Amino acid sequence: MQMGKKKISTASTKMVFLILLGCLNVYPVIWMISGSFKSIEDLFGKGLSLLPSSWNFQNYVEAWVGANFGRYFFNTLIVATSVTVLMVLITAMAGYVLGLYRIPGKKIILGLLALTMFLPGGLTIIPVFRLVHSLGLLDSLAGIILASLSGGLVMYTLLFMSYFGTLNKELAEAACIDGAGFWRTFYNIMLPSVKPMGVTVGLFTFLGNWNSFFLPLVLTVSRPELRTLAVGVYSFFGEYDTQWNLICAASTISLIPVILLFLLLQRHFVEGMAGAVKG
């Protein structure tokens, strides 16, 4: 009996300790969110407090319309969504063929993929920038989308390859005999059977591109209207570093979708991350 009680009390002490520490850990984020509702005097005067003296929703209107963050939000959404869809499709297609089919030249392709992981990369952003420019895509989000497809491509192809490799090829063959074409077999039968990997790759591609900074920064230098949220906050903050409440509002706008996604798919997120060290 006594042992049991002692156990419970240490467990609840630990829990209280963890909750306090966790709250301290998210304080910067909560401060940012509360700052987005504060007036500028409020932010400068009572910097530490988390409760605004009056709730100022006007900040969001100003950030969304006046400071153009509405536009940046949709830019980010378009880029992150397009890259995610294309990335899952492209790497799954390649992984499907590499994992399940014996084709001439497969070893060369695998060699190329491995090579890119060992070659020390230099300042690859410059050739990428020039390539996007020569394709005439610097004036559109398509340039950022195309350039962003390089991040993770090799790793995700290899992940899909090993995942497809564990599947039974007879499933695909049976579908083929039933008259489904190559593409149909892939899309209707094989792709659904690698859904867990698809969700993981999609989630990480979306998060990575939502939070991406360097690539959109470089590709939008002369095109302010193409900025993503991260680049928008950086630029706004460089020009108006006193309008903290608007920076907070813009930052909160950027945080909402990822937090929602994180809460909805927390299990996938944690398992996907954990996969990186378990393998």
Binding footprint of another protein, residue count (CB under 8 A):
98
Helix, strand, coil: what percent of the chain each, to 5? 75, 0, 25
Cβ 225 to another protein shortest distance, Å:
19
Cα gap 76→239, rounded to integer Å = 21
Taking CB under 8 A as the binding criterion, the range among 59-67, 162-170, 191-199, 245-253 that sits at the site for another protein is 245-253
Taking CB under 8 A as the binding criterion, the range among 58-66, 148-156, 163-171, 193-201 that sits at the site for another protein is 148-156
In b/e form, how buried is each residue of 226-245, taking b as 16+ CB within 10 angstroms? bbbbbbbbebbeeeeeebbb
Taking CB under 8 A as the binding criterion, the range among 62-70, 163-171, 194-202, 224-232 that sits at the site for another protein is 224-232
| Rounded alpha-carbon distances, angstroms, from residue 30 to 49, 60, 146, 212, 249 | 10, 16, 35, 22, 12
Tokens coding 24: 């301290």
Given candidates 67, 88, 229, 246, which one binds another protein under the rule CB under 8 A?
A: 229
Site string for another protein, 49-88 (x = CB under 8 A): ----------------------------------------
Q: Contact between 179 and another protein (CB under 8 A)?
A: yes
Q: Contact between 23 and another protein (CB under 8 A)?
A: yes
Given candidates 78, 109, 137, 142, which one binds another protein under the rule CB under 8 A?
A: 109
Cβ 267 to another protein shortest distance, Å:
9
Q: Contact between 15 and another protein (CB under 8 A)?
A: yes
Q: 92: part of which helix (H) or strand (E)?
A: helix 69-100
| Rounded alpha-carbon distances, angstroms, from residue 234 to 17, 126, 227, 259 | 35, 21, 10, 21
Q: Contact between 163 and another protein (CB under 8 A)?
A: no
Taking CB under 8 A as the binding criterion, the range among 56-64, 163-171, 192-200, 212-220 that sits at the site for another protein is 212-220
Q: Contact between 244 and another protein (CB under 8 A)?
A: yes
- Closest of 182, 186, 148 to residue 164, by C-alpha: 186
Q: Contact between 9 and another protein (CB under 8 A)?
A: no
- Residue 87 CB coordination number (10 Å): 25
Could you identify the residue written with the tokens 């798919």? 265
Tell me the CB-side half-sphere exposure of residue 101, using CA atoms within 13 A: 14
Give me the long-range contacts of 116-122 (CB less than 8 A, separation at least 24). 116/154, 117/154
Q: Contact between 180 and another protein (CB under 8 A)?
A: yes
Rg of the chain, C-alpha, whole Å: 24
Instruction: For another protein, give the closer residue by CB, 54 or 222.
Output: 222
Cβ 278 to another protein shortest distance, Å:
6
Cβ 78 to another protein shortest distance, Å:
17
Q: Contact between 256 and another protein (CB under 8 A)?
A: no
Sign of the four-CA dihedral 234, 239, 244, 245: negative
Q: Contact between 196 and another protein (CB under 8 A)?
A: no
Q: Contact between 224 and another protein (CB under 8 A)?
A: no
